[in-house]
Amino acid sequence: MKKSIRLLLIAVCAVGIFGLTGCEDHQERYKNPPWLGGSSIETLEERGNYTTFLALMEKANYTEPISKQLFTLFVPDDASFDEYFKSAGINSVNDLSKEEAVQLFTLHVLRNPRSRFQLIYEWAWAELQGPKGEYASLFHRKETPSRSIPYNEVVKYYPPDKVGQELIIYTNEKNVPLFTEEFFFDFGATPDGSDYLYMYPGSTWKEGYTGDMKGINWHNAQVIPNPEIPTELEVRTASGFIYFLDRVVAPMPSIEEYMIAHPEKYGLYFDLLQRFAQYDNQRVDEQNRIQYRKNYDQIFNLAEERGPSTNRAVPAQNMWTAILPPNDVLQEYLDNTVLKYYESIDSVPRVTLFYILQTQLQSRMTMYSHFDRTYYNAFGDAMKIDKNDIASGFMTSNGPIYESRKVLEPNVFTCVPGLLFIDKNYTTLLYTLNEANMLSTLANPEVDVTFFATTNDALEEYGIRYNATNNVVEFRSPADNKWNPMNNQDLVYFAQDQIVKGRLNDFSQEGFAQTTSLNYVGIRNNAVYAGENQAKGVDSKVTEIVPNERNGYLIKVDKPVMSRYVMGQWLTEDDEVSMFTSFLKSSRLLDTRYRDPVTKEVIPNLKFLAGAKLWTGFIPTNEAMEKAIAEGIIPEKYPKDKEAKDSVDNWIMYHFVKDAVVFDDGKESGNFNTNYTYRNEEGENVNATVLISNTIPKNLSIQDVTGQTVPLSNEKANYIVRKGVCHKIDTVLKIYE
């Protein structure tokens, strides 16, 4: 009750006060404070030196939005516009079309009012990136409403269905870079303006600033101190902020558009680039014409205004960097490399052009001062670029262009695989390595490799070719002689089989080496061989050794390293071990009916091999098997009796060493696990072992768990198969007395 009376008294007092003061005009209380001034348009009108900017605003049809909403304006004075119009060959705003006026004006406008602090530091990743934020001032690009005026382009090379057509190209909004002392510091560049002036020759940095003012430039224009308050840069108004500029920001080309406008300098690079062009994202303009947005396949998309900053949930950050050789430099490079082997650029493999083009690009802005450090190209290759190799710099809307006095080369060109990119006789191998993602394995200057290179003709004779029409590596099946796209796993295996880690240059001595596929090759008589080479009796003869100073050797061979030969094939094809093979079949450990789903080949499959990456098989000969049966080592009731079968299965598994490949080369000795497992006294499953003595080449012996020692004859040793090696022994191994 007391609470209700109290509320009633408050209401009566309020009505009384309103009655006493309600007729008075208290508008003065809501006027803007004196320091705020009028609206942005009123401020510019009062100052009287910005009539051209206001006229441009009117022609672009922005006067009403800016009078009613909050904006940030970057404003050049009338003299700056006079200078710009003179350079553009026109007299005034009246000489601009509506499209041109919108394009030009909107480069000087940001939606929403922003103080200097708010310009520099953006809200991103759910927090304000202030001076102490993780990204600090690195979100330096500001999206404007400005776009390039759509232009026409004739499709030159790609895609095939559009070649020769003239298309209308449109672009996305321009992101104007804001450069500040804070940004240069956070980006690890020079805050004294030298990096800025190299990208913007002819511009200014901090001219007319007092000692404690920090530099800020809007693209190529310096933000000058407020003429009325020289110690401040930002001008606060009732409708936003004004920053005065020392010049007009002219329409900004992207890297793509700059190359189009300067064919006398970058026409050759641009021509090569068009082989990767794509045209999609169609839209219809007011005249009902189809327009296309351009981008690039594989190559960094230099036509994308946002640059590498694809996450549209946050402001644009990164920019491309293009270190471009001019026409004469690039032509000389091509003449001295690919055009020594190819009749024309049109016949050069696309992958070669890709590496040439992409190496000149980076998905991060590089400042001129950064060339004093190690530079990493688009492939992550560490490079040293001498500043003397950089002729000039120019900043576009999506990144800097540096004119280079030389063509940058990726590691794949300067390391072991370099020959493949320029010699037309090795394109099949080049495409195979590229499709298998193995080029980087050959192009690490920190890791030595030996690479066996086979010509296109030799590969096709073997059964591998590149189909240029379908852009695919094909394999000819031995089952039906038909060409089909090569199974990806087989393609990777084949590529890896041609690579050995380390430097090999002496092929006169017998030995063995492991390839990156974990398969092995043998070396003898100036040749190498894998399992299939050995089975067919066609070693890969070394025809030339090409040393590479950076990371190894390219070995030219007349036939490829052939490893498509599994242990099951050897077991079924060697008559001298047919009895042991029949035991594998009876135990259902060997499937002789397995058919490859791609090549349709019937390939005998030893089922347990999937349990390890490496294997060594000590396979008893028929003579050894007959002796074992006679001595009762193999039960007479096998395989019908289950107990006998289990016993024989264990005995079979004891002849296969897992997780190791042992040749009789005198290098590997010791206890090795076999594939036979049993339960020990502690109740644990363990692998039975064999003791291999192999300290002298061609003198290997095996001691089994019974203490029996079985010598290995070198004439029956070292049959290379995929995943390992087989040896024929004349006495079976025993797992019990």
> DSSP for 632-689?
TSS-TTTTTSHHHHHHHHHHHHTTEEES----SSS---EEEEEEEEEE-TTS-EEEEE
CATH number of 567-729: 2.30.180.10
Q: What is the pLDDT of residues 455-504, one digit of tens each?
A: 999 999 999 999 998 899 999 999 899 999 999 999 999 999 999 999 99
Question: Residue 560 has what DSSP assignment?
Answer: -
Q: Share the mean pLDDT of the chain.
A: 92
pLDDT value, residue 19: 38
Name the residue among 499, 531, 492 with its Cα closest to residue 515.
499
CATH match of 40-143+175-245 with 1.10.10.10: no
**Phi, psi (rounded to 5 degrees) for 135:** -100, -10
Q: Which residues, including other chains, have CB under 8 Å from residue 486's CB and lie 6 or more apart?
A: 464, 472, 473, 474, 475, 494
What pLDDT is recorded for position 75? 98
Query: What is the rounded CA–CA span in Å between residue 525 and residue 539?
Result: 9
**Topology of domain 255-409, per CATH?**
FAS1 domain (2.30.180)
Q: What does the domain layout of the chain look like in residue ranges?
A: 40-143+175-245, 255-409, 414-557, 567-729
Q: What CA–CA distances, in Å, run from 101 to 53, 60, 171?
A: 11, 5, 17
* Fold of the domain spanning 414-557: FAS1 domain (2.30.180)
The three-state DSSP-derived secondary structure of 490-538 is HHHHHHHHCEEECCCCCCCCCEEEEECCCCEEEEECCEEECHHHHHHCC
**pLDDT reported for residue 640:** 56
The pTM of this model reads 0.87
Same fold, 414-557 and 567-729: yes
What pLDDT is stored for residue 737 in this prediction?
73
Position 488, amino acid: N
CA dihedral (587, 589, 590, 596) positive or negative: positive
Q: Which residues of the chain have pLDDT under 70?
A: 1-37, 635-645
What is the three-state SS of 459-489? HHHHCEEEECCCCEEEEECCCCCCEEECCHH
Structure tokens at 489: 């796993």
Strand ranges in 388-441 using DSSP code E only, listed in sequence order: 390-396, 399-404
pLDDT digit string (tens) for 131-161?
998 999 999 999 999 999 999 999 999 888 8
pLDDT at 37: 64
Residue 187's contacts (CB-CB under 8 Å, 6 or more residues apart) are 138, 365, 367
> According to the model, what pLDDT value does residue 641 have?
57
